[in-house]
A = this chain, B = another copy of it.
Amino acid sequence: LTLSEEDRQGRNCFVAWCEAAGCRVTVDRLGNIFALRPGKAPDLPPIAAGSHLDTQPHGGRFDGVFGVLAALEVLRTLEDHGFRTEAPVAAVVWTNEEGARFAPSMMGSAVFAGILDLADALTTTDRGGVSVSDALEAIGYSGSAPCGGRVLGTFFEAHIEQGPLLESEGKTIGIVTGAQGMTWLEVTVTGQDAHAGTTPVDLRRDALLGAARMVDAVHGIAVHHGPEARATVGVINALPGSPNTVPGAARFSVDMRHPASATLERMVEDLRARCQRIGGKLDLETRVEQVEYTAPVSFDAGCIESIRSASDLLGYESMEIGSGAGHDACHIARVAPTGMIFVPCAAGISHNEEESADPADLEAGCNVLLHAVLERAL
């Protein structure tokens, strides 16, 4: 989990490896890490690559970490060959991409890109009341560099696909053209606590019964809006949370995604309408609050071409693909030319300990990243 003791250990390891590869490391106020390998022309903006080191509570090992280690491998390869690029080359670690401990997700890149206010990010707390600011201090990654305002010549992110398409199509490299839009909402349902033994069923205002029907409705919205639509309830709670009390309140998260912003907006409207209708029938009050919105993203045409020509040069089978997940690259695309490289992962499984990828595919992704970076940095 982000800003945990394990995160500290991973970050320290990365920093030590970058310094051993001849890089100068700086940390910004939100804990984003920049490892810079100087170029011949120090005034050129750096060609950067990277991703994130944090994970979900149940893993996995490749989501994010692959992109960070791929960037490190680029730096090491340049160092091993004594190769000096024109522009500096940088490896970047973005803080709290997952959002599993602190919402919103993609926090480090959001503040860097001016989408989220630094003060808002630092004062965000986890379920235990610990703030991002305190968590950064605790692991020694509250840096002194400003977060944002740093010019990047290009940003590339290598990542496992986290979906089944490359594997099922037999392709090694996914040339990512863009990412679907995403929104997070919080639904709060309020009824009345009551005794489970004495309160007749027709006299109840059972908030969890309403929430359960709304969870089913969320699924129905995804089905209704077609194969590209995604809608997920990942967190649910009933209050007061006692087996023999009819819950007077319930709360759940909704994650909805679609590549077209108009459709995503209709999905949100559907959610509001269906929740109100379900709540109304059960005499419940329902509040639907939108807590995060990321518009669909199209990546830079020049970066897409750099990735395509690197893949062709190396002889890998490739295909264009859209990203189902949000990534730091989606935020960075607002402030720098940005591209993403996908490699297959086993059965499309991610956010799970079973997440896995073929070393040969990971190597291919690193090679494409190296050549794409070289084309931009030479």
Contact = CB atoms under 8 A, between A and B. Distances in A.
A98 to B, nearest CB: 7
A25 interface: no
Instruction: Give the oligomeric copy count.
Output: 2
A162 B184 CA distance: 40
B195 A163 contact: yes
B248 A197 contact: no
A179 B122 CA distance: 55
Interface string A182-216: 10100000001111111111110010110111011
B240 A197 contact: no
A233 B241 CA distance: 9
A196 B247 contact: no
Contacts of A376: none
A198 B325 contact: yes
A243 B253 contact: yes
Interface residues of A, number: 72
Nearest to A165: B198
A308 interface: no
Interface string A302-315: 00000000000000
A246 B57 CA distance: 12
Interface in A236-251: 236-248
Interface of A: 56-58, 98-100, 103, 105, 161-164, 180, 182, 184, 192-203, 206, 208-209, 211-213, 215-216, 219, 222-223, 227, 229-248, 253-255, 257, 323-326, 348-352
